[in-house]
Chain A
Amino acid sequence: MALPACCLYLLLLVLVGYAMISAIQPSTRMNLFQLTGLGAALGAGTTGLLLFWASLIGFAPSRILLAVIGVLALVTLLVMEKKHRLPRPRLWPDDWEKGDRWIVVPLFVTVAGLAIIAGSALSVPPVDWDSFAIWGFKAKVLTHEALRPTPVYFHDLTLSYSHLDYPLMVPFLTAGAYAAMGTVDDQTGKLVSVFLDILLVPLVYVGLRWKLRRLPAACLAAIPALLPAMFRYAGAGCADLPLTMFYAGSILYVARWIDRQQREDLILAVLFSVFAAFTKNEGLILALTNGAVLLGFGLWCGPRRAWLGALVFFAGLLAMDAAWLMWSRDLPRTHEDYGSKLLSAVVVTHLPRLKQILPAMIAQATELRTWSLLWIMIGATALLGWRAFARPYVLALWVLLGLHLLSYALAYSVTPWNLTELMSITLDRLLLHAVPAVIFLAGWHWAEMEAGYCHARNSGSDGAPVGPAAVVH
């Protein structure tokens, strides 16, 4: 009985996501990947936040609460349907191009990789330290108690090892599954973890298809599904891949806003940044970086809308994260507390440690057994599609990637742990967060290279216009 209930819960997440898309991007055409990638990611993030807010006012996750969320999603969909603004999902695209039949190859490889991850994750209970000691523990606490009054757990220093101050997106989503199942079954509950982790692949595909043709987009999207780091961490029950997934959404829509300055892109950039900030502490830094880049590149493209965009971004981020920031303000920070250290003078005194950290990061990125040629591929595609550097959204993503890696290097510099030991354990996991940016950059450089070719081809001899801006999902 637990498994069907858990599956119904996942369907609820997709339903909520569909309702969110219909509210944000009404009347758009939507394909299967947008529904399962973008829709499910939006649904998961929204449901996690709703469960948190409900818990703050005294309602722990329950079937009634989930039913209320489901009814709200259905009402939204009905309203949009009545206004004839409901996006219609297309199961089969009607714009096949020559050579697209080869898509079955990357698709098969991707599905095989994800199936292996899912199968193995679901066959055992959580045994990874972080999964049970940090995230699983919090999920149990949140299932049993609402956040009002604050559960004893969050102030019990003997449980400090479980990082009492960590954000609660993944624990709330897991607690939601436990509520749906009516029992704390952590083995079946790993289905939520698997679901969140593998969402990264369709979301990356959606981001690539913004600019790139179907076949190269599918090939590039297969890469995260086959990465050894993905096999290592997906389905374990940790928050790293959900953070990567939400971060992928945030940088995609920040880039789209910089490129097109459309209202819905800004809303989605805000939402995904909020979700990332509520998933891991690193997410808050990444969300702030998104805002800074959005402002900087906005000013480059057009000052008036840039200020407006940045204002909306930071206001939205603050408004939706305010409850978490205020509630977590008094939690004991007795473990790493990177946030305070990065804002103090300690970061300056520890700068010499970068001499050890940066070479270790480069060595890790070029570790073939973990990353294959991924980080080398980005250099190669950037060289081949070098004209993409003229695009503000591509430059913005390069800046985001640089700031991302720099912020992690600085965090390492102030760590209370033994640096060598910590980096050997965590570096691959942290670099995994940057994988969507790497793949998007590879794809968008490729698209620019093809666009130049296609333009020349169209202006000279044969073919249909297939520039980057012409690609539809």
Chain B
Amino acid sequence: MGRGRRPGPRRNRGKLETILNQLIPGHRRSFEYAAWGVVLLVLAHLCWLQLRPKSECRQLYAVATKSPAFQAIILPYERLDRIAGQTRDGNLLLKLAGYAKTNPVVAYTLGEFYYRLSYTLYPRRVYVAPADNVINNGGDIQQTEFNPSRQWLQEHDVHFALVFGSGHADGEMHLDILPLDDGRTGTQTNRTGGN
């Protein structure tokens, strides 16, 4: 018997060569080219997607340049933000009038108004329901019967009422500001909104 050593197991990068860890001949670069092809295809497609009309990139450009289409989106928010400026101090009461109390179509807009006003006015408050009523959407506001007493309004430092309403089931929504400071509730002072 000769003393020659048996050839050891083949190794790749210091580890035992297995089906998952095997040498690839140096000339077989086709996999690398394929990987490059896939990634470059993805990048080229992504660039093309942003060059299309109505692409996200073009929409952002419209935002940045304040295009008319964008103005139409932002206008309702600017109107609501202006309301915050018109109600100088104190908290607000949001009331529903007319079809706004029952029309499910306006629930979305109502929720939007309430969320935006609550955000813009903070640390002032917009009261729309008793504090233990869960409001998760405009529909929850419509289901709330909230008619606070004069004393409650004074205790909560409410100076204005915002009346969100419509005279017609499919009519334009409007938002009116009513001062409550001197008890003259019901006097329309400023018609501000629309949707």
Contact = CB atoms under 8 A, between A and B. Distances in A.
Interface of A: 106, 109, 113, 116-117, 119-120, 123-125, 127, 129, 132-133, 136-137, 140-141, 144, 156-162, 216, 219-220, 222-223, 226-228, 231-232, 334-335, 368-369, 372-374, 377, 380-381, 384-387, 389-390, 442, 446, 449-453, 455-457, 459-461, 467
A98 to B, nearest CB: 14
Given A124-B74, A141-B122, A223 B20 contact: no
A458 to B, nearest CB: 9
23 contacts: A113-B50, A123-B63, A123-B66, A124-B63, A124-B70, A125-B81, A137-B119, A157-B132, A159-B118, A216-B35, A219-B40, A228-B49, A368-B45, A373-B41, A373-B42, A380-B38, A446-B35, A449-B31, A452-B23, A453-B29, A455-B12, A456-B28, A460-B25
Contact of A232 (B13, B34, B56, B136): B56
B85 to A, nearest CB: 14
A157 B59 CA distance: 36
Contacts of B34: 380, 384
B1 interface: no
B112 to A, nearest CB: 7
Given A231-B56, A369-B49, A387-B22, A219 B39 contact: yes
A455 B23 contact: yes
Interface in B100-141: 111-112, 115-116, 118-119, 122-123, 127-137
Nearest to B36: A216
Contact of B61 (A106, A116, A133): A116
Given A368-B45, A384-B31, A385-B31, 5 more contacts: A156-B131, A157-B131, A334-B134, A452-B22, A453-B31
Contact of B57 (A116, A129, A457): A116
Residue among A141, A226, A334, A390 having the largest count of chain B Cβ atoms under 10 Å = A226
A450 to B, nearest CB: 6
Interface of B: 12-13, 18, 20-26, 28-29, 31-32, 34-36, 38-43, 45-47, 49-50, 55-57, 59-61, 63-64, 66, 70, 73-74, 77, 81, 111-112, 115-116, 118-119, 122-123, 127-137
A384 B59 CA distance: 37
A92 to B, nearest CB: 25
Given A124-B63, A446-B35, A453-B26, A140 B43 contact: no
A129 B43 contact: no
B60 A120 contact: yes
Contacts of A453: 24, 26, 28-29, 31-32
A112 to B, nearest CB: 9
A259 B41 CA distance: 31
Contacts of B31: 384-385, 449, 453
Contacts of A109: 43, 47
A124 B62 CA distance: 11
Given A449-B32, A459-B23, A216 B13 contact: no
Contact of B39 (A117, A216, A227): A216
B32 A389 contact: no
B131 A123 contact: no
Given A116-B57, A129-B115, A456-B23, A157 B133 contact: yes
Contacts of B129: 158
B21 A390 contact: yes
Given A161-B115, A380-B38, A384-B35, A117 B135 contact: no
Contacts of A459: 23
B113 to A, nearest CB: 11
A226 B63 contact: no
Contacts of B73: 127
Nearest to A461: B26
B47 A390 contact: no
Contact of B42 (A372, A384, A455): A372
Contacts of A125: 77, 81
Residue among A119, A381, A384 having the largest count of chain B Cβ atoms under 10 Å = A384
A140 B132 CA distance: 22
A368 B46 CA distance: 9
Given A137-B118, A368-B45, A158 B131 contact: yes
Contacts of A158: 127-131, 133-135
A335 B43 contact: no
Contacts of B60: 116-117, 119-120, 231
Nearest to B146: A158
A135 B133 CA distance: 22
A387 B22 CA distance: 8
Contact of B13 (A384, A386, A389, A455): A455
B49 A372 contact: yes
Nearest to B120: A132
Given A127-B73, A137-B119, A455-B12, A460 B26 contact: yes
Contacts of B77: 125, 127
Nearest to B141: A158
Contacts of B133: 157-158
Given A109-B43, A223-B43, A159 B18 contact: no
Closest 3 CB pairs of A and B: A231-B56, A390-B20, A120-B60
